[in-house]
Amino acid sequence: MKTKIFNSTLLFTLIMSISLSAATTATAQTPESSIEIQALAIENQLRCPVCVNQGLTTCALALCNDIKNSIRTQLAEGRSPDNILLFFEESYGTQIRSGLAPRGFNLWLWSWTVASVIIPTTAIFLIINRLRSGTN
């Protein structure tokens, strides 16, 4: 009886270890795929410097292809994604970023947007509470 339990446990452990090793081997990333994932993340944060409101990932201009190749080269050289973004921002200006950074005029714009949602919502909430308390 103990031998059957031992054999079943051994078989289960062997099957689990084989399946786990196969799963980890299948999901292991090569350096090339890691660079590709980082490059795509950087490309999603940049816009085409020539086209109006077109992302770097969707633009087919030769300049955008050169930028994409430069991103991959810089990642292969070991530069961090933040340094690469800063490099392109210094080269082409802040308009190459696809998102507005909350600083300067953009900070005022962000706070105006937040205030235009919070203030009316608070006012409506207070008016409804005042009307409810007045009817009781």
Instruction: Identify the H or E element spanning 62.
Output: helix 62-76
Task: Pull the structure tokens for residue 12.
Answer: 């289960």
d(CA 36, CA 132): 58
Using one digit for the tens of pLDDT, what is the confidence trace for 79-109?
999 999 999 999 988 888 887 666 777 778 8
Domain 2-99: CATH class, spelled out: mainly alpha
Residue corresponding to tokens 């292809």? 65
Using one digit for the tens of pLDDT, what is the confidence trace for 44-73?
999 998 888 888 888 888 998 999 999 999
Sequence ranges of the domains in the chain: 2-99, 102-136
Distance of alpha carbon 129 from its chain centroid, rounded?
Answer: 41
In whole angstroms, how far apart are CA 104 and each of 41, 68, 81?
A: 25, 29, 23
Half-sphere exposure of 26 (CA within 13 A, CB side): 6
